[in-house]
Amino acid sequence: WFIFPALRHCLPPPAPEVCAHRCVGMRAPRDRRRRRFTAAAAAAAAAIACEKVVNFRALGAQASGPGRRGAAKRLPRDRGDPWESSWGKQLLRMREFHATEEGPPRREERTWLRRFRIPYPAFEELVGVVQRDLGLDNHARCDAAGRPCKPIELKVLSALRVLGRGCYFDDAEEGTNIGEPTLREFFHKFCDGLSNVVFDKWVYPPADGNELARVMAPYTAIGMPGCFASCDCIHKSWGMCPASQSVIHTSGKEGWPTRVFQGVVDRSRRFINFTYGMPGSFNDKQVALQDPFLQDLRFGRLYGDVKFPVYDINGTVEEMNQPWMLVDGGYQKYNCLVGAIPTPLTEAEKAWSCRLTSARKDVECSFGILRQRFRILKAPSLFHDAEKVDNVMRACVVLHNVVLAHRGTTAEMEARAARALREFGEDGEITVL
């Protein structure tokens, strides 16, 4: 038992007398200032050691399950009722407030928006989408132990909290009384459903000429007839990029692995197109070649029959087709992509470049709003799979459009669009052949 310590779990502990005899017979240390153990002290120490070993073995025998030696039993963890959690109680309060005619107090609305980033009516609609389109509602079923599944509403709240705050799943566990593995699994399914299943329901270009005329009206009012959107790229840092892909995902602009996305935004800062992620080393021209929406617009497959009036230098009205977008200097010189003049010489060129640069800030402001509203986009992504990084980014774009759909555009944008439609739309100058 003393010679082979690795076999102590297989051999019975020696008697106290043997331990005392062996302790007394051991060589004394070289330091003469240390005193030898007496036989009585050694016997007492050995007895205490043997008692601890016996108690430890007895405890291990009680904790070990049948058929598994030394394996502790997994005790059931009672997290409590999810509806008794802090977020469950807040959700029930919001339901009671919205059931009345007065509605919720302003303080409750601000607290809800600060915690979950979207209005409560948008949340109820999102829950319906999850239940109807994504098929993630398993509240009526039970697990293998016969316990009812967790409420789908609290799972959606946890996903919104992780997207909005960029927190970890154990933080959401404290607010919902739902296990961390359950919340993590639902989060990825939720983002995948928004990115691939219902993405086209919220992020889409104008469907017909009338809707396109409404989108082009604010740009026409500022002297840019034919323009309908702004286009630019955004980089999302990828902290867990595999070493085998770090070279292609690292660009000179950022200096660390990223995923690049291209977004198209109209005047009301609503996304009408958003691509999947590409390696961060791609520049704007390479991303534009991979975007089907931009290529359809370039070759006339999209809005090729739309005409709009323009004025030449003499003030004569001419008709042109193929609407265009505002871009920076990093894109190709396509007819559907118009950027500022690199070196303006005349006053007219300077005024045009200044106005175009000011109008192109819509897409930059939209990217800034997206990152401030969903803080998970500001920190490096901690997912090892590039598909999960893309799903999170596209899910945030969908939620951004959901918020705009419920809040609506500002009164100034609506008035400007109505004024431009009266001036250009009623005369039939923006027509569809």
The one-letter amino acid at 204 = Y
Judging by beta carbons within 10 Å of its beta carbon (0-12, 13-18, 19+), is residue 257 exposed, middle or buried?
buried
Predicted confidence (pLDDT) at residue 410 exceeds the cutoff of 70: no
Predicted confidence (pLDDT) at residue 15 exceeds the cutoff of 70: no
- State the average pLDDT over residues 209-228: 90
Lowest mean pLDDT, pick from 33-37, 70-74, 88-92, 382-386: 33-37
- Please report, for the chain, how many H helices and E strands are present, in that order: 17, 9
DSSP-assigned letter for residue 47: H
**Looking at residue 248, what is its pLDDT?**
92
pLDDT digit string, tens, across residues 323-351 = 999 999 899 999 999 998 888 888 888 88
Predicted confidence (pLDDT) at residue 17 exceeds the cutoff of 60: no
Q: Which residue has the higher pLDDT, 220 or 36?
A: 220
Contact between residue 250 and residue 347 where contact means Cβ atoms under 8 Å apart: no
Residues of the chain with pLDDT > 70: what percent? 74
3-state secondary structure of 20: helix
**Looking at residue 304, what is its pLDDT?**
86
User: Among candidates 150, 160, 72, 163, which has minimal Cα distance to 122?
Assistant: 160
pTM above 0.85, yes or no: no
**Looking at residue 417, what is its pLDDT?**
57
Contact between residue 88 and residue 177 where contact means Cβ atoms under 8 Å apart: yes
Predicted confidence (pLDDT) at residue 409 exceeds the cutoff of 90: no
**Looking at residue 189, what is its pLDDT?**
94
State the greatest distance between any 2 C-alpha atoms of the chain, in Å, as a whole number: 118
What would the DSSP string read from start to end of 88-155?
HHHHHHHHHHHHSSS---HHHHHHHHHHHSS-HHHHHHHHHHIIIII----TTSB-TTSPBPPPHHHH
Q: How confident is the model at residue 282 (pLDDT cuts 50, 70, 90)?
A: very high
Beta bridge partners of 231: 264
Q: How confident is the model at residue 78 (pLDDT cuts 50, 70, 90)?
A: low
Q: Which of 6-10, 17-21, 38-42, 401-405 has the highest mean pLDDT?
A: 401-405
Contact between residue 302 and residue 293 where contact means Cβ atoms under 8 Å apart: yes
3-state secondary structure of 377: helix
CA 32 to chain centre: 68
**Looking at residue 194, what is its pLDDT?**
95
User: Among candidates 249, 262, 201, 257, which has minimal Cα distance to 393?
Assistant: 262
Predicted confidence (pLDDT) at residue 37 exceeds the cutoff of 60: no
- State the average pLDDT over residues 183-205: 94
